Amino acid sequence: MNRPLFVTEPSLPPLQALQPYLEQIWSRRWLTNGGPLHQQLEQQLQQWLGVSKLALFANGTLALLTALQQLRIRGEVITTPYSFVATSHALRWNGITPVFVDIDPSTGNLDPGQIESAITPETTAILGVHIYGVPCEVERIQRIADNYNLKVIYDACHAFGVEDEGGSVLRHGDLSVLSFHATKVFNTFEGGAIICPDDRSKNQIDHLKNFGFVDEVTVAAVGINGKMNELQAAIGLLQLEAMPAQIARRAQIAERYRRQLEGIKGLNLLPEPQLARCNHAYMPVLIDGQAALSRDQLYEQLKTHQIFSRRYFYPLISEFPMYRQLPSADPARLPRAMALSRQVLCLPMAASLEDGDQDRVIGAIRQEMGAS
């Protein structure tokens, strides 16, 4: 029987490679609170990503919550409905009202052309998401933010290692946030980070992620427990060694999908991003009304082949009960996001995906769509 194939498959380092790190952790008995492996991973990630400062977190959601706290964001924040729900949840946990605007259908990202009409006296920031690792139109967004004196935060959870012509896309905005969840290109099982522009912001964030402690007897802010532990850091150090090969393999898989799915009636691909380095975090395809099956029918049929795709992102955040009463959540205001949400299907994409398994996915799609 064929093994199940999922939209993402966690990459795992060789078990034997973890042993030396475990011995270090056990011998030091330093398990968390900025231990040696934590510090080593921060330094190596800064170098690998080409960023000046980076603060590690236990997960990406805690990192996003803390980024909003560090920038003292309040009131309303303009953001996208087309993302994982944690993007908007982090706003609500901080008492902030998300204001949804529509997307660019060619990328899935926040459309800068929709932002200015959504700005009110209560607007304090723009929260963009680099969907599928494709950067937002960062320069246009920054010009708008500068004109209206707004902060810019990027949910860059899909954008590990992505570079444009100027370097890492993580350098854009006031802060960028990463996720190192098990399903991401780079993972520490659970984990995350905030990319910081300078020492001052990093020090503030380090205090906030440790309950606000500055020293043993001084608490300077209402912080949270967001610290990454030493075992997570060890996993990250091992994963980082494999990143060049893993990203190169993802590129091969993406190119093979594009070549062999081309020409299937009703199946479309988003434009391939033109970047200095793309991480190929996901493999989205769009199923339109010309296809032999609807998106949801294909989703169900692939399960019969032990292929478990995902409708990333469906429903829209704006359709969930805690958001749909917002004026900006009106579907009439978000036609392009609604359309993309109802067409998108993400196929299995992982560096460990073998050619034979990928052939199963491609063959099943072609068969079900009447193209075999």
Please tell me the predicted confidence (pLDDT) of residue 1. Answer: 72
Strands 163-164 and 167-168: antiparallel
**pLDDT tens, residue by residue, 28-38:** 999 999 999 99
Q: What average pLDDT does range 245-255 have in this prediction?
A: 97
The confidence score (pLDDT) of residue 236 equals 98
CA dihedral (96, 187, 44, 16) positive or negative: positive
Looking at this protein, which amino acid is placed at residue 126?
I
> What pLDDT does 10 receive?
87
State whether residue 344 is helix, strand or coil: strand
Residue type, 360: R
76 burial type by CB count under 10 A (0-12 exposed, 13-18 middle, 19+ buried): buried
pLDDT for residue 312 is more than 80:
yes
Place of tokens 């959601």: 61
> Any bridge partners for residue 168, and if so which?
163
Mind listing the pLDDT tens digit for each residue in 217-233?
999 999 999 999 999 99
**Closest to 242 in 3D by CA, of 347, 163, 352:** 352
Whole-number Cα distances in Å, 59 to 266, 279, 349, 371: 38, 20, 22, 42
Residue 276 has pLDDT above 90, yes or no: yes
Position 372 pLDDT exceeds 90: no
Residue range 307-329: average pLDDT?
A: 98
- Residue 67: other Cβ atoms inside 10 A: 30
Q: What are phi and psi for residue 284, nearest 5 degrees? A: -85, 140
Beta strands in the chain (DSSP E): 5-6, 53-57, 76-79, 97-100, 123-129, 151-155, 163-164, 167-168, 175-179, 192-196, 213-215, 218-219, 267-269, 283-287, 307-308, 344-347
Whether the full predicted model's pTM is greater than 0.95, yes or no, is: yes
Answer yes or no: is pLDDT of 81 > 80. Answer: yes
What is the signed CA dihedral for 195, 196, 199, 200, rounded to 10 degrees? -140
**Backbone dihedral region of 189: left (phi > 0), alpha (psi from -120 to 50 degrees) or beta?**
left
> For residue 277, what pLDDT band results from cuts at 50, 70 and 90?
very high
Going along the chain from its start, the domains and CATH numbers come out as: 15-238 (3.40.640.10), 243-368 (3.90.1150.10)
Percent of the chain topping pLDDT 70: 100
- Written as one string, the DSSP assignment of 26-75 is HHHT--SSS-HHHHHHHHHHHHHHT-SEEEEESSHHHHHHHHHHHTT--S
Check whether 103 has a pLDDT greater than 80.
yes
Q: Which residue, chain included where needed, has tokens 């490679």? A: 17
Q: How far apart are the first and last CA of the chain?
A: 22
Residue 58 pLDDT exceeds 80: yes
pLDDT(117) > 90: yes
CB 108 within 8 A of CB 82: yes
* Residue 224 half-sphere exposure toward CB, CA atoms < 13 A: 18
